Structure 1
Amino acid sequence: MPAAVPAAAVGAPIRLTGPDGPWDAVREALDVRGSAVLVSRLGDWLPAAEPAVEPSEREVAVLGRDWARYQAMSHEQVRSRFLASRLLLKHAAGNALQAAPETVDLAYKLGGRPYLRGCDQVDISLSHTEDLLVVGLTRRGWIGVDAELESRRLLGTGAEKQICTPHETARLQELPEKQRNLALVRLWTLKEAYSKAIGQGLRFRFTEFGFTPTAGDERVQVLRPDGSPGTGDEWSFGTWAVDDGAYTVSVALFDAGFGDTADIAAHTMLDDGLLDALIDVT
């Protein structure tokens, strides 16, 4: 039996190098913690170095319903990022569900948030920036992930007024000037991750909730605009620098209190007739 850990624990991101994983590390994270954050690169998933090369028959099968969306895209960079991110998401979900990636039925809610049709025991989240791809998986409740270049300039651009609560603005001013932009990037990714987890995306104004600007020893939690606590132990958060500090990745995880649903294999969650109806390999 895996060692017991707090229900809301979030582990550090797992680096994937393509369809070969390493998936054992992902399954271990799901077994032990109930959640996993995966990071990968576009080049790990693209079918060839030449962007004009079309996906293989297997990759078309893995795309499933998204194949039509891919074909409708005209911008090559957008097509490449869409293909790589969906291949990663389908392989990740397939390994979590112990099912072939081409049998995973990916659908989208209003606003574009992806979900696994017929497998609501597993929540998923997707983010990408530049050539970094991030996927979040959980069997405990809701998850949201976000990524941004650590070097992205936000400070002094007016972004602070769109991102920060009064409490955050005051705390940022207390930091050394050279630390403020990185702290603002961290706040941005945490807020993106949290709004994705609750299904609001950019519709939820970032000035209505906050976080501590710096990653200290204290537990990270949502704060009201005045800095008072806004959530309880059901939420947990994490932020990491990945790829030698090139990117900031954040995750927000809500533990719905359903207990530890350890068995999330597709063949045990769905009856045979429903499973057959959900499989779409065309």
Structure 2
Amino acid sequence: MSAAGPHGTAVGPPLRLHGPAGPWRRVRRALHERGTVLVYGLLADWIPDDRESAGLRQLLGHDWARYEAMALAPVRDRFAASRRLIKYVAGCALRAAPASVELGYRPGGRPCLRGCDHLDISLSHTGDLLLLGITRRGGIGVDAEPADRRTLLTGTERRFWTPCESEALARIAEARRPREMVRLWTLKEAYSKAIGQGMRFRFSDFGFPPGGAPPRVLTPEGRPGTGDEWSFGSGRVGRYAVGWAVHDTGGTPGPADAVGRLDRGLVEALEALTGPPAPNPERND
């Protein structure tokens, strides 16, 4: 499994983590050099084996009761694997023991690092893939989807695309169109996660340029919708399409510093369009 080169340049391609063994040096180097790192692992890498299960209760902490209440083994395994990945990556960033990292949850169910306002995380999982983004720069969102997902340009699905996107997609050869739609979808999901809206922000209210153009947010009419403080990228991890969005609030603060996740004016403007956030759980964190 490999990651193809991203369209964006601010963040490197996702790094493969083979469970708790890492490699962690590459993660620390990326955080030091860029302030942001994307990592991925397979469920099999992160589901605890019998030997590791003995320490799972301590590692999960407040999430242990939630884990025990899950009736289906595959659901429990996915939950344990994703929380292990988050805690080991956050522990690497903080130079702390993974079990000492405490997770909280924002409205909508998105996990965050409690007491670590200078670090933002975003998790996506689909199939056997776990994708995690972590940044010291401000806010981050990531998304992963099966690259071969069959998505059609129908009247019903046009509610997910701006008029400019629909016109551009209609000009793309039918054989290539589904893959391009999946790429655009991962960017939309990543951006909506980075601004804290999830699926509550209508996807027809913003778009991205299809094709080989550098990804950036566009208004429904095709005009620039964000500035240079945002960077975006997309790529492939094996059979999955992945996308990411990073909002840079300035600098790469050290562990003792704290920065606000997002410009308050941006959030207020979005809430004016969409209304206040509703407590609906996001599809994949």
TM bracket, shorter-chain basis = 0.7 to 0.9
| Partners of 1:91 and 1:163 in 2: CA distance | 35
TM-score of the pair, normalised by structure 1: 0.85
Amino acid aligned to 1:79: R
CA–CA distance in structure 2, aligned partners of residues 159 and 35 of structure 1: 37
Task: Give, in whole Å, the separation in 2 of the partners of 1:133 and 1:54.
Answer: 22
Q: How many residue pairs end up in the alignment?
A: 250
Query: Structure 1 runs of 4+ off > 6 angstroms?
Result: none
How far apart are the structure 1 equivalents of 2:182 and 2:95?
A: 36
Q: Residue 279 of structure 1 aligns with which residue?
A: none
- Identify the residue that residue 64 of structure 1 maps to in structure 2: 61
Distance of aligned partners of 1:157 and 1:185 in 2 relative to their CA distance in 1, 3 Å threshold: same
SS in 1 for 2:176: helix
The aligned counterpart of 2:280 is: none
- Match for residue 19 of structure 1? 20
Q: Pick the aligned partner of 2:223 from 214, 225, 228.
A: 228
| Distance in structure 1 (CA, Å) of the matches to 2:60 and 2:159 | 36
Whole-Å Cα distance in 1 between the matches of residues 51 and 122 of structure 2? 26
Which whole-Å deviations, capped at 9, do the CAs of 1:216-252 have from their partners, x for residues lacking one? 2x43210000111100100000101112xx0001110
Give, in angstroms, the shift of residue 156 of structure 1. Answer: 4.8
Answering whether residue 246 of structure 2 is matched by residue 249 of structure 1, we say: no
| Counterpart residue number, 1:260 | 252
For residue 161 of structure 1, the aligned residue among 138, 158, 171 is 158
Quote the Cα distance in structure 2 between the aligned partners of 1:39 and 1:157.
Answer: 33
CA 156–212 in structure 1, closer or farther in 2 if over 3 Å, else same: closer
Aligned to 2:59, the other structure's residue is in SS state helix
Q: CA RMSD in A?
A: 1.7
Contact in 1 for aligned 2:48/2:80 (Cα 8 Å): no
Structure 2: gaps (5+ residues): 1-8, 259-285
Q: Contact 1:119–1:269 at 8 Å: present in 2 too?
A: no
Compute the TM-score of the two structures, normalised by the length of structure 2. 0.84
Task: Give the letter for the 2:71 counterpart.
Answer: S
For structure 1, list consecutive stretches of 5 or more residues without a partner in the other structure.
1-7, 271-282
Match of 1:171 in 2: 168
Give a deviation string over 1:178-236, Cα, whole Å, max 9, x none.
Answer: 1100011011111110000000001001000000122x2x4321000011110010000
Residue 45 of structure 2 corresponds to residue 44 of structure 1: yes
Q: Structure 1's 240 and 159: CA in aligned 2 closer, same or farther, altered over 3 A?
A: farther
Distance 1:114 1:181 in 2: 30
CA distance in 2, matches of 1:157, 1:225: 18
